[in-house]
Structure 1
Amino acid sequence: MKKIPYSINAMNQPFDITTRQPQLFVCRDFEHLKDVLEEFASKMAFMVGGLEGINKAIECNNTATCEYSSGLQVSGVFNEVITDENNSPIYLRTTGKTALAFGNKELQGHGIDYHKDGFGSPVGKWKQTPSAPELLTNDQLHALGIVEGKKAKLEFMSGIVVSGKVEKILRHDGKLLLITFSNCSAKYGDRVLFDPDWGTCDMAVGERISSVFNGAADKDAYNQVALVPKERTIKVPSDAKRKRLENLYAQVRKIRESKTGYERLGEIWETQQAAHPEDWLLSMEIFEILDTTDQQRQLKAKIEKFLNEKKAQTKDLTTLISWGFRLVEYHKKPEYQAALHASPK
């Protein structure tokens, strides 16, 4: 069998998993493998951003996120990008429900209910200043005539012109994210990008699109948390200790399904703590029952403290337990309850 030194060119090799492979790609060591994978990652949309990333978001026709260099994240179904003569993106647009976030947390007042009909905004530098717009200070904005409560006119290097009354200027971590205009007009040549009759205009700020990735930035707020499947396909062999733990799970499941016996949850949890201190998932299940039914608040607080201490032990546990808490909140949402009750028993 032919052996080929592993490189990024391996991605161009046809691969049929049902047949014997005619070659092997060989790495010198793990460092070699890491270097090639990092080279590949550097070409992915979440690293590249720009027009290439935006076009991938449009092609996928599903919820994606474009992140401005200011850190502002726009999540929605992207359907258009306008480019300049250098083929650089100067305006992007979504259709349908859209949310704005920073650091993967939705910005207050900028969720899918507010931006339910889509979102559009320019990208790029402003003519009036050589600096990246997200780095401008309040004094610099005032010098450009951008003051809350006053009319302003912004001209982009691309030729897009935005004018209107500045209602709000939003910053985060020192960077300018959004400028909200009323009575706003946005044009690119003869094309109207925003009309005053359309209402308030939230203009994103950022010199470029630095990253594009699949899904929403804040999946919880965007209602993009996956439902947990009821069936488990992985079967783990049981020894005597594990069978005792599984029995505790069965008792908790019976309490949850029958909606009786809540007073036994404390005893079950104490048993788990004494005999199976490494397990955290049962604690999360008990926590959710107590949270949903508003039972035994003192016990709930003890379990929450245990889970937070467990969460701090490793990076993996941080992720898993954080998602556990998120699911507890998500399971209380009306849309989840509706889907749960509509699903076949």
Structure 2
Amino acid sequence: MYSQQQIIDSLPSHLRPFIAHQDYNLYTPRDQAVWRFLMHQLVENLSESAHPIYLEGLRRTGINIEEIPKIEVMNDHLNEIGWRAAVVDGFIPPAIFIEFLAHRVLVVAVNIRSYAHMLYTPAPDIIHESAGHAPFIIDIDYAEYLQRMGELGRRVITNKGDIEVYEAIRSLSIVKESPNATQAEIDAAETHLKDSIERKKEDPISEAALMSRLQWWTTEYGLVGTVDDYKIFGAGLLSSLGESLNCLDDQKVKKLPLTLQAIATDYDITREQPQLFVARSCRHLSQVAEEFARNLACNRGGKYGLDMAIAAETVNTAVYNSGLEVSGLLTHAMYDPMGNPTYIKTTGPTQLSYNERQLSGHGIEYHEHGFGSPVGKLVAIPNCLSTYHIDDLRDLGIEMGKRVTLNFLSGVSVEGMLKNITRRDGKNLLFTFEDCTVTDLDGTILFDPGWGVFDMAVGYRIDSVYGGSADPAEYPLYNNPSDTATVAGDYDATTLELFSLYGQTRGLRENQATSAAQVEDLIRSCENKVQEEWLLIFELLELAIKTKADEALVSALEARLESLLATESQENQILIRYGINRIATQKAS
């Protein structure tokens, strides 16, 4: 059994601030009714159309359709299959969200969609992430795919526009879910998101955006089987009453076999999807993921990776073949005529690391203004300088405490007093010079002695370029969750009274000894208080039928529920019809 604190302690320190606390008492009786209504209807809708593992997965991951899941209970069940769960507050940065998966931790939003947005919510919620993602983790191939996506997500390059859009989406979701938000605030948030998306269209598409498409068409909106015979497994479909049914219409929603071509297809989170992709199996997902991974900058490095990082305008990491990792805002790179990197430069705070651990004394405080260093082989020295022992270097005229001149094949020259050599695992990573001058082939000054100490990276090749910093614990890109946070509403007296009625209804339903008379008394006591609350009317009606309450009261409740079809929103009309059909089924049985 894992407590939330044990999970927090087991994770890297930069992930810990994003874990929230699930105060179960903050869920209102109406929240519990929202969960119960949607989950009963989803299970009914999906009993035939979802992958067969879905219903078994709900049970094995500790998800009860009668009540909002407790994270501790989920952890007890997930621990049996080598996974854990942690709650977070709404949207968190995509890079952070997906890194949790690499540690086999399923992230679950602590909040639940509101009564006003039962059919669709723009914000992550506990229905989507617990009842959508968790059930399929019991499938080993699916779980391995999730973990692999987490590992890749830690490496993909995110651009500046991605971050702006993320913040705009989060802000909009918070405003829409706030019971106190004005229409002007909602309109402003929607305009901000629209503007962010339009600005992003001008940028080259990032690896992170391509990966989000792959996730969208697999873990969120994926089908499994063949284009003619398929089942649902995507969490977005599994948690959507409307789309889980509408997606089955092959005339309206085109089905395509899943290939890497899926990343060429964008998606719109505000509307139902016009096409979906069908994987042959969960194992097939991992095969597509590996094809995607093969061409990422983290696996290609060189000019390709450096150019992508520079264009992204975000913090990324360039890895020399020696293993030295340079993390910062890459702003400039020089290449020879064959496209081989000869010099790289960062601007602003920069971190030097090895094996994703910051080198002592080489954090962002020390390299606060940036870092620059040559890349490439040296004239008349056949091997990489990282491979030479101290005695071998001395034979080459490279000795600490003496002036050293290093001439690179690219024409870059480094000349100065060698003060220190940083080594790890028998490899040279950094040469530290004082009174040092660095010039290129044309004699342009790349480093002047007046600028201070020059730390030269050792390595003749950039093997990898990946997103973020090498050691996020020492160079966190997201120090804390976003400044804005999802909020609980301040409820007025009328709403609190409604919550009390939901709670009384729930209490009677759960009490095996509840009589028809008790239900009838409750219905009469709240007759004038629930005129517009269709979900409470449904709950009372369901309870009345179960206890065989007075037929006149049952008929009156049915009539009130039917009458709301003329006044409720289109979304609520859909939900009410679901409720009416369920009542008809219960009466028939």
Superposition deviation, residue 224 in structure 1: 3.6
Question: Which residue in 2 is equivalent to 1:203?
Answer: 456
Q: Within 5 Å, which residues of 2 pair with 1:47-62?
A: 47-62=299-314
Aligned with residue 222 of structure 1, among 468, 471, 475: 475
Q: Within 5 Å, which residues of 2 pair with 1:100-119?
A: 100-119=352-371
The question of 1:145 aligning with 2:425 is answered no
Tell me the distance in 2 between the aligned counterparts of 1:231 and 1:147. Answer: 54
What do the CA deviations read for 1:290-317 (whole angstroms, capped 9, x no partner)?
xxxxxxxxxxxxxxxxxxxxxxxxxxxx
Q: Report SS of the residue matched to 1:54.
A: helix
The question of 1:95 aligning with 2:333 is answered no
Q: Report SS of the residue matched to 2:370.
A: coil
Question: Which residue in 1 is equivalent to 2:289?
Answer: 37
Q: Is the 8 A contact 2:330 2:346 kept in 1?
A: yes
Q: Report SS of the residue matched to 1:101.
A: strand
Tell me the distance in 2 between the aligned counterparts of 1:57 and 1:230. Answer: 26
Whichever structure has more helix as a proportion of its residues is 2
Question: Which residue in 2 is equivalent to 1:301?
Answer: none
Tell me the distance in 1 between the aligned counterparts of 2:484 and 2:266. Answer: 35
Q: Report SS of the residue matched to 2:404.
A: strand
Q: Is the 8 A contact 2:401 2:419 kept in 1?
A: yes
Aligned with residue 381 of structure 2, among 129, 134, 145: 129
Superposition deviation, residue 193 in structure 1: 0.9
Superposition deviation, residue 215 in structure 1: 2.1
The question of 1:80 aligning with 2:335 is answered no
Tell me the distance in 2 between the aligned counterparts of 1:71 and 1:234. Answer: 44
Tell me the distance in 1 between the aligned counterparts of 2:391 and 2:381. Answer: 13
Tell me the distance in 2 between the aligned counterparts of 1:93 and 1:76. Answer: 9
Tell me the distance in 1 between the aligned counterparts of 2:483 and 2:420. Answer: 46
Q: Is the 8 A contact 1:104 1:218 kept in 2?
A: yes
TM superposition score normalised by structure 2: 0.38
Superposition deviation, residue 117 in structure 1: 1.5
Matched to 2:294, the amino acid is S
Q: Is the 8 A contact 2:350 2:363 kept in 1?
A: yes
Q: Report SS of the residue matched to 1:165.
A: strand
Tell me the distance in 1 between the aligned counterparts of 2:378 and 2:258. Answer: 45
Q: Is the 8 A contact 2:469 2:476 kept in 1?
A: no
Q: Report SS of the residue matched to 1:119.
A: strand
Tell me the distance in 2 between the aligned counterparts of 1:7 and 1:113. Answer: 45
Tell me the distance in 1 between the aligned counterparts of 2:453 and 2:255. Answer: 61
Tell me the distance in 1 between the aligned counterparts of 2:460 and 2:431. Answer: 14
What do the CA deviations read for 1:150-204 (whole angstroms, capped 9, x no partner)?
1111121222111112111111111110001112111111221112222211000
Instruction: Report the CA distance shift for 1:9/1:169 in structure 2 as closer, same or farther (over 3 A).
Output: same
Q: Report SS of the residue matched to 2:394.
A: helix
Superposition deviation, residue 127 in structure 1: 2.0
Superposition deviation, residue 216 in structure 1: 1.9
Superposition deviation, residue 81 in structure 1: 0.7
Instruction: Please say which of residues 74-83 and 56-65 is displaced more in the overlay.
Output: 56-65
Instruction: Report the CA distance shift for 1:234/1:51 in structure 2 as closer, same or farther (over 3 A).
Output: farther
Tell me the distance in 1 between the aligned counterparts of 2:335 and 2:264. Answer: 29
Q: Is the 8 A contact 1:84 1:90 kept in 2?
A: yes
Q: Is the 8 A contact 1:155 1:162 kept in 2?
A: yes
Question: Which residue in 2 is equivalent to 1:120?
Answer: 372
Aligned with residue 430 of structure 2, among 153, 175, 178: 178
Tell me the distance in 1 between the aligned counterparts of 2:366 and 2:435. Answer: 18
Q: Is the 8 A contact 2:418 2:433 kept in 1?
A: yes
The question of 1:161 aligning with 2:451 is answered no
Matched to 1:189, the amino acid is L
What do the CA deviations read for 1:213-255 (whole angstroms, capped 9, x no partner)?
22222223225453257998699xxxxxxxxxxxxxxxxxxxx
Q: Is the 8 A contact 1:128 1:144 kept in 2?
A: no
Q: Report SS of the residue matched to 2:298.
A: helix
Q: Is the 8 A contact 2:418 2:431 kept in 1?
A: yes
User: Mind listing any 5+ residue stretches in structure 2 that lack a counterpart?
Assistant: 1-252, 489-589
Q: Is the 8 A contact 1:63 1:215 kept in 2?
A: yes
Question: Which residue in 1 is equivalent to 2:246?
Answer: none
Superposition deviation, residue 20 in structure 1: 4.7
Matched to 2:453, the amino acid is T
Tell me the distance in 2 between the aligned counterparts of 1:68 and 1:121. Answer: 11
Question: Which residue in 1 is equivalent to 2:261?
Answer: 9
Tell me the distance in 1 between the aligned counterparts of 2:477 and 2:312. Answer: 16
Instruction: Please say which of residues 21-30 and 66-75 is displaced more in the overlay.
Output: 21-30
Matched to 1:196, the amino acid is P
Matched to 1:141, the amino acid is L
Q: Is the 8 A contact 2:410 2:441 kept in 1?
A: no
Tell me the distance in 2 between the aligned counterparts of 1:46 and 1:155. Answer: 29
Matched to 1:89, the amino acid is P
User: Mind listing any 5+ residue stretches in structure 1 that lack a counterpart?
Assistant: 236-345
Larger Rg computed on CA atoms: 2
Counting aligned pairs with the same residue, the percent is 44
**Alignment RMSD (CA, Å):** 2.4
Q: Report SS of the residue matched to 1:10.
A: helix
Q: Is the 8 A contact 1:127 1:155 kept in 2?
A: yes
